[in-house]
Structure 1
Amino acid sequence: MDAVTPATADAARPTVDPADEVVALCSELIRIDTSNYGDGSGPGERKAAERVAELLAEVGLDPQIVESDPGRASVVARVEGTDPGRTDALLVHGHLDVVPAQADDWQVHPFSGEVQDGCVWGRGAVDMKDMDAMVLAVVRDRLRRNDRPARPLVLAFLADEEASGVRGAHFLADHHPELFEGCTEAISEVGGFSMTLGDKRFYAVETAEKGLAWMRLRVQGRAGHGSMIATDNAVTELCKAVARLGEHQWPIRMTKTVRTFLEILSEETGLPFDPEHPEQVLPHLGELARIVGATLRNTTNPTVLQAGYKANVIPQEAVAQVDGRFLPGYEDEFFATVDELLGPGVTRESVAHDIAVESEPSGPLWERMEAALLAEDPGARVLPYCLSGGTDAKSFAPLGIACYGFAPLRLPADLDFSGMFHGIDERVPVDGLQFGVRVLDRFLGSL
């Protein structure tokens, strides 16, 4: 029998192209239903977490599955760097849960992971099982080749991001901060994607995101017969307060990130940019206007109304919910204005509250993200942007971690990318996934 040497063992090891594996992994993860209904129901993330842990263990890692509640599972694994002097780990995190989907509304089943028309279709295709698959494909390939980055990595695949991370990132940061020991910077979702204006392609890397304030409003009134004159009607008073919030014209507030974003756009495209009236650029941005417009001001959008049980009964209580978002640096102003608009007689409760975050679009990590993107797409321009929604970065920033959105995708100019998030027929281009694998591989190799 021939002796088995390290060289022959490596030769016998199957070669897997990460560009092919990322498509298969994305489809596989989509087929695992991890719908998060926000009320503790749903299948949870345990099945997906076990599969991710298995994929990491196959290439020699020692992943840890942590449950906050039964079935609400996250996976964390550490990749030791090759430079023993580097203790500043990079956190690479993604979430395993997805928002629900109604199959009858879709062209393909939302949990099929079908590859059709050059795209992988299904719930989570862009939010964010695509990034999960890219990270897995790149890390598995590098570990199979024994090509670790110089800098340590902490990989985290998390539960519950779609319900503010209480059972996922927040739980781990609060109860298991040791898992992130040494982490100084992080990358995750909703950044590094391409945007096309005219003949120019840009890559937007998220350096900031708005804070979250989901609020429940209550008004108490006098119950009575619907045929009587009612001077203390809870529904009427609540509707007045909700209307004041919903119709309020929040003032323009220019954060550092948004100013830099608009200055670069203006420089590269010639679009007008007046720092005193930045909203004037919005009509020139097409689909981007939805993303940019929401980062120029705080917002309050009423979303839920509840009152009464019969047409001829005046209810004693009326309740509403409002989705509020505030810019970095403007949380105090936001709540002061909300309370002034609500007025007396309306109580405000917090349904969910989380911080705004902002990191610097500069330094060695930023330069490596930029270089990795431009190596694959020369002639493009990289710019920072602010996310109007939120991510698990809100959990990790308080640990002293500078957080960035860097899930690279090169997208067709006519794809409504922002509409894919939580939308019907969510899908990600196959060549976009493969582009992301190449960029992430370059990026990790440069650390």
Structure 2
Amino acid sequence: MGQEGQQGRVRGHRHTLAGMSHDDADAQPTVAPEEEVARICADLIRIDSSNYGDGSGPGERKAAEYVMAELAEVGLEGTLLESEPGRATVVVRLEGEDPSRPGLAVHGHLDVVPANATDWQVDPFAAEEHDGCIWGRGAVDMKDMDAMILANIRHFARTGTKPARDTTFAFFADEEAGGVLGSHWLVDHHPQWFEGVTEAVSEVGGYSVTVPTPQGQQRAYLLQTAEKGLAWLRLVAHGRAGHGSVPNDDNAIVRLAAAIGRIAAHEWPREYIASVRELLDTLSTMTGLSSADADLEPLLATLGGAQGFVRGTLRDTANVTMLDSGYKHNVIPQTATAAVDCRFLPGHEDQLMATIRELAGEHVEVEVVHHDVALEAPFSGDLVESMKQALLREDPGAAVLPYCLSGGTDNKALGLLGIQGYGFAPLRLPAELDFAPMFHGIDERVPVESLQFGARVLGDFLRTC
């Protein structure tokens, strides 16, 4: 790479790759993204970046430093930003073939949810390879995609190739705790990294499911075009403290239990947003099964492990996840609390919050611990067409379907800047691999061949979008 690339200087936050001379290009070994994506994925898994959500984890700093070193090796100078000590995000921006076009953001997150090693068949941070798969925490969520992104950035730098348009690549901290110290922090404090960016691509989309059809089986790739909003709530019940032997009609625990019971028993009505309706109707055409509300179960079953994500997008949800009260067996406490994870469809936030407050009742306060928006983007346009074609060039005859994610991604933070986000972490998966349930699950693993496929597809997409 020329002198400018060697020093990693940025002009307007953009690395210019066109200045590479033939001699410099020859000095860099030619390594295709699919040739090193598995190594990068395994390296990242071996770095424990567990996010416990309370500040007690190791943080993302070591993983961020690894990304910085991989960029530096090919002459790129990334920028490492810390929201708090150890909570590190890396960003780098590459100039595109046509800088006059709106920019693109491609992002992943470096943190992972914790893993209890006794639950796993292997050490969750050893990145062992068995049966053609790399095993470990983050293999699915989302160090696999981080590796695809990083392998392609390195290939661009080595070869002087440019992405189709100016592209900001981000490796965020803190996604698994809502992005407060990662994507949201960057959007709030360093929005210049996303100047001119109109669209973004990240996780939990682009992976395949194998669908039974009257002709046999067909692979379908689920492209994420929407995601539910979230409200992490705390229920706080108040009562009268007292001795455990004395009757008490103002028991905070009893009041909390009643509120939890009402929330758990509530039947949230079904509503089919555009992406869900199109997914179900297209599946119906492929399989010959009905997509009518009353007959939906057989159709959902054709999605295999991915049906859980889809079931979560048929209605709003509220799940109690933690309880806390009391400090001694013979003392009635004055307060009792519960954590509730609520997810709402686009346009449903006010309705969900009103319903939760009504169900909680007069003696239970509802506090918002963390909130984030719902997203919905069209399953059309040039970017979507580029994603489709990149998949189909590698897997002709497959179908590409839209879907809504029941969880959330860092696209929520970018959405606050008006950036339209999609989920596109392309993986061609074996039909027998129950992939989707491994998000936050045990024995997380990704096939090496799927990583190689994804690296090729992502590179194709970045060059043509």
Q: TM-score range by the shorter chain?
A: over 0.9
**What does 1:172-321 correspond to in 2, within 5 Å?**
172-198=186-212, 199-274=217-292, 278=296, 281-321=299-339
- Deviation string, structure 1 residues 414-439 (Cα, Å, up to 9, x no partner): 21112211111111000000010111
2:268 alignment partner, SS class = coil
Deviates more, 1:273-282 or 1:34-43: 273-282
Q: Among residues 68, 79, 83, which one is paired with 1:68 in the alignment? A: 83
For the pair 1:434 / 2:449, whether they are aligned, the reply is no
2: CA distance, partners of 1:75 / 1:7:
29
> 2:391 is aligned with what amino acid?
L
| More moved, 23-32 vs 52-61 | 52-61
**Paired amino acid for 1:334:** L
1:95 to 105, 109, 119: 109
Q: 1:63 to 1:222 in 2, by over 3 A?
A: same
1:343 counterpart = 2:357: no
2:34 equivalent to 1:49: no
Asked whether the equivalents of residues 61 and 79 of structure 1 are also in contact (C-alpha less than 8 Å), the reply is: no
Alpha carbons of structure 1 residues 285 and 14: separation in structure 2 relative to 1, 3 Å: closer
The Cα of 1:275 is off from its aligned counterpart by 5.5
Residues 119, 428 of structure 1: 8 Å contact kept: yes
Q: Distance in 2 between matches of 1:372 and 1:59?
A: 26
CA distance in 2, matches of 1:282, 1:6: 54
Is the aligned partner of 1:379 residue 2:397? yes
Note if contact 2:205-2:223 (Cα within 8 Å) is conserved in structure 1: yes
Q: Which runs of 5+ in 1 are unaligned?
A: none
Give the stretch that moved more between structures: 96-105 or 404-413: 96-105
- What is the aligned partner in structure 2 of residue 152 from structure 1? 166
Aligned mates of 2:458, 2:293 — CA distance in 1? 34
1:120 and 2:120 are equivalent in the alignment: no
TM-score normalized by the length of structure 1: 0.96
Q: 1:342 to 1:195 in 2, by over 3 A?
A: same
Aligned partners of 1:220 and 1:316 also within 8 Å: yes
Q: Aligned-pair distance for 1:444?
A: 1.2
Q: What TM-score, normalized by structure 2, do the two folds share?
A: 0.92
SS at match of 1:29: helix
Q: Distance in 2 between matches of 1:253 and 1:434?
A: 38
Asked if the contact 2:240/2:334 (under 8 Å) is kept, the reply is yes
Q: Deviations over 1:376-406 (max 9, x none)?
A: 1111100110000011011001101110000
User: Any idea what the Cα deviations from partners look like across 1:224-281, whole Å, max 9, x if unmatched?
Assistant: 1222211111111110001111121100011111111111111111121115775674
The answer as to whether partners of 1:271 and 1:284 remain within 8 angstroms in 2 is no
Which of 74, 77, 92 pairs up with 1:59?
Answer: 74
**2:45 matched to 1:27?**
no
Q: 1:33 to 1:343 in 2, by over 3 A?
A: same
Confirm or deny: 8 A CA contact 1:209 1:358 kept in the other structure. Answer: yes
Question: What CA distance in whole angstroms lies between the structure 1 residues aligned with 2:22 and 2:223?
Answer: 41
CA shift, 1:286, in A, is 3.7
> Contact (CA 8 Å) 2:209, 2:304: kept in 1 or not?
no
Displacement after TM superposition at 1:284 (Å): 5.0
**Other-structure match for 2:378:** 360
CA gap of 1:50–1:285, structure 2 versus 1, over 3 A, is closer
User: Within the alignment, does 1:11 sit opposite 2:11 as a pair?
Assistant: no
Q: Which residue of 1 aligns with 2:13?
A: none
Change (3 A) 1:84 1:290: closer
Distance 1:205 1:149 in 2: 21
Distance, in Å, in 1 between the alignment partners of 2:280 and 2:410 is: 25
Contact preservation (8 Å) 2:211, 2:302: no
What is the CA–CA distance in structure 2 between the aligned matches of 1:39 and 1:438, rounded to whole Å? 37
1:63–1:362 CA distance, 2 compared to 1 (3 A): same
Asked if the contact 2:225–2:403 (Cα under 8 Å) also holds between the matched residues in 1, the reply is yes
Q: Find the residue that maps to 1:399 and give its secondary structure.
A: coil
Contact in 1 for aligned 2:428/2:453 (Cα 8 Å):
yes
Contact 1:279 1:293 in 2 (8 A): no
CA distance in 2, matches of 1:109, 1:52: 23
2:133 corresponds to 1:133: no
Structure 1 residue aligned with 2:100, among 85, 88, 91?
85
Q: Tell me whether 1:166 sits opposite 2:184 in the alignment.
A: no
Contact 2:322-2:340 at 8 Å conserved across structures: yes
Structure-2 change in CA distance of 1:391 and 1:132 (3 Å): same
**In structure 1, what is the Cα distance between the partners aligned to 2:132 and 2:303?**
27
CA distance 1:277–1:59, shift in 2 (3 Å): same
Specify whether residues 284 and 134 from structure 1 end up closer, same or farther in structure 2 by C-alpha distance, changes over 3 A only: closer
In structure 1, what residue type is equivalent to 2:271?
R
Seen in structure 2, the aligned counterparts of structure 1 residues 257 and 319 have a Cα distance that, compared at 3 Å, is same
Runs (4+) off by over 3 Å = 5-12, 275-286
Contact kept? 2:108, 2:145, Cα under 8 Å: yes
Deviates more, 1:296-305 or 1:283-292: 283-292
8 Å CA contact 2:233, 2:368 repeated in 1: yes
Offset at 1:8? 4.6
Paired with 2:320 and 2:63, the residues of 1 have a C-alpha distance of 34
